[in-house]
Structure 1
């Protein structure tokens, strides 16, 4: 199966409020197809403001479009990662309160067990979402690499290497903190 189909099927199966947070893979692919082969002149001016990328050639124009996508990916990733850190801390505090209440505040063992089961369910849900966020990171990076290769192949440009190296240092790709949270 081609990457685009894999990407689309993953997008269809993801959480509804996450769908517009993914790389605009299909739109970028369509945009690349509109570019003339081995182009050295940009198409009509893009609807994006300049982002300070060099001489204004086609590569700079496309890099500005990808910068917007990177910004979108990073914003979403960092927002979700922060939410998980906060949510996990709240769950840990709930566990401590339940443990403290166990010494007399519960009317029955069942009440204690139900409270702990609810906390465990919340942990499982958050853990599942964190795994989805790791997948989000991997899938978007792979999509970005594919788009850059398509761009280079179509235009004869060399945008892939510098842009991929830059993307490797972006928050959505450096998933160390998220990986630590998942292991907790």
Structure 2
């Protein structure tokens, strides 16, 4: 399967709010073909315009990726801290040496935390 088709398939399978965050592969590929064609035909003027458009689009894609990852990294750090606090709370309160030891409640709380963690992990996966 060609890369463009695999990327399109991956985009379709991704989370809806992430779809516009993927690389604009088709547009970049068109510009590369235009640059290549202009270079082989000896059209330096068209080649320069296509190169400038390519560089502009590539820089835009890099900025888009950077913004996306910075935002998600911040969300991940916040969620990670919240989960750490919840884990400590469960251990301190319901664990064997906690203030309200109860094996059944301890297991129930751990199951909730595991479920919360699983949901977080699914959100971060691409498939």
TM-score, normalised via structure 1 length: 0.56
User: Residue 117 of structure 2 aligns with which residue?
Assistant: 123
Q: Does 1:89 align with 2:75?
A: no
**Residue 26 to residue 57, structure 1, CA distance change in 2 (3 Å):** closer
3-state SS of paired residue (1:41): helix
**Residue 30 to residue 9, structure 1, CA distance change in 2 (3 Å):** same
Question: Of residues 20, 41, 44 in structure 2, which corresponds to 1:40?
Answer: 44
For residues 58-112 of structure 1, the C-alpha deviation after alignment (integer angstroms, 9 at most, x for no partner) is 3233201110111001100111112111111110110001111112436x53332
- Structure 1: give runs of 5+ residues left out of the alignment: 44-55, 136-184
2: distance between equivalents of 1:15 and 1:131? 9
* Higher RCO, 1 vs 2 (CA within 8 Å, ≥6 residues apart): 1
User: Residue 26 of structure 2 aligns with which residue?
Assistant: 26
TM-score, normalised via structure 2 length: 0.77
In the TM superposition, what are the counterparts of 1:164-183 in structure 2 within 5 Å? none
In the TM superposition, what are the counterparts of 1:7-156 in structure 2 within 5 Å? 7-33=7-33, 37=37, 38=39, 39-42=43-46, 57-102=49-94, 103-105=98-100, 108-132=102-126
RMSD: 2.6
- Structure 2: give runs of 5+ residues left out of the alignment: none
**Aligned-residue offset at 1:32:** 4.4
| Structure 1 residue ranges, 4+ long, deviating more than 6 angstroms after superposition | none
More helix, by proportion:
2
